[in-house]
Amino acid sequence: GAQITAITPAILLGCGFWSLFHGFTVGRARAKFAEMARKDGEKDVDERYLLPNLYAQGTSKYARAFNCVQRSHQHIFETFTTVAVGGLTGAVVFPICSALSTLMYTVGRYYLSRGYVETEGDASKRYKYPLAKFMWFGLLGNITLGTMSCFIVASGKKKLI
C-alpha cells in the first residue's frame, strides 16, 4: 500500500540531503587545493580555482584533484532528476522494485562520489569501490520501471485513484 510506495521518496529525500552535505566537501576542497596551489607557486590561483569557476582551470596536480572532487558533486545533478522521476513514477506500479532500484542508485552514487573524491586527480580510479557501479544499475532500473509504470497506467491496467 501507501507505506510501501513511500519508501522510494524517503530514499530519494535521503539521497538529496546527502547531496547537499556533499556540496560542503566541494567547498572545502576548493579552498584546500587553491591554498596548496598558492603555496606551490602556481600563478593566478584565485582566477583559476575560486568561484564563479565551476572547475579549476589548468592541469596541475591540484587543479586535477579539485576537479575530481567537483565532478563527484556535479555528476549527481546529471543523474538525480532522472532517478527521481523514474523512481517516483515506477513506485506507482512497482513500489518494492522501485525502492530497491533507488537504493541501488543511492548506494552506488555514494561510493562513486567517494571514489572521485579520493582519486587525487586520477579520475580513472573513481570506481575503486565495487558498489560504485550500482549507481548505473539503479539509474537504468528506475528508467525502466518508470517507463513501464507509465505504459501500464496509460493502458488503463492500473488506476491512479
Note the pLDDT tens digit of each residue in 16-63.
Answer: 999 999 999 999 999 999 999 999 999 999 999 999 999 999 999 999
* pLDDT at position 4: 72
CA dist 92 to 16, 41, 58, 88, 97, Å? 21, 57, 47, 7, 11
Residues 6+ apart with CB under 8 A from 67: 55, 56, 121
Residues 6+ apart with CB under 8 A from 50: 30, 34
Which residue reads 580555482 in cell numbers?
A: 49
Q: How crowded is residue 49: how many other Cβ atoms within 10 Å of its Cβ?
A: 26
* pLDDT at position 92: 93
Can you list the residues of the chain whose pLDDT is less than 70? 1-2, 161
DSSP 71: H
Output phi, psi for 120, to 5 deg: 60, 35
Residue 45 grid coordinates: 590561483
CA dihedral 66, 71, 73, 79 (to 10 degrees): 180
